Amino acid sequence: MNGDGIPRRGLMLVLSSPSGAGKTTISRLLLEADPGLTLSVSVTTRPKRPDEVDRRDYSFLDSAAFEKMRAAGDLLEHAKVFGNDYGTPRAPVEKALAEGLDVLFDIDWQGARQLKGKAPKDVVSIFVLPPSTGELHARLRRRAQDSDDVVAQRMKRAPDEIAHWNEFDYVVVNRDIQESVASVRSILTAERLRRQRQVGLPVFVKGLSEGL
Task: Give the interface with its own copies as residue ranges (CB under 8 A).
Answer: 2-4, 6, 127, 129-134, 136, 155, 158-159, 162-163, 165-166, 168-173, 175, 179, 182-183, 185-187, 189-191, 193-195, 198, 201-202, 204-205, 208-209, 211-212
Q: Which is nearer to its own copies, 94 or 179 (CB)?
A: 179
Q: How far is the CB of 30 from its own copies (least distance, A)?
A: 14
Q: How far is the CB of 212 from its own copies (least distance, A)?
A: 5
Q: How far is the CB of 10 from its own copies (least distance, A)?
A: 17
Q: How far is the CB of 35 from its own copies (least distance, A)?
A: 17
Inter-residue contact 139 to 20 (CB < 8 Å): yes
Give the CA distances from residue 142 to residues 113, 138, 148, in Å, rounded to whole numbers and listed in that order. Answer: 30, 6, 11
Q: Which is nearer to its own copies, 84 or 132 (CB)?
A: 132
Give the CA distances from residue 127 to residues 14, 95, 199, in Å, rounded to whole numbers and listed in that order. Answer: 8, 26, 27
State how far the Cα of 27 lies from the Cα of 38, in Å rounded to an integer: 10
Q: Any idea how long the chain is? A: 212
Q: Which is nearer to its own copies, 71 or 208 (CB)?
A: 208
Q: Which is nearer to its own copies, 53 or 166 (CB)?
A: 166
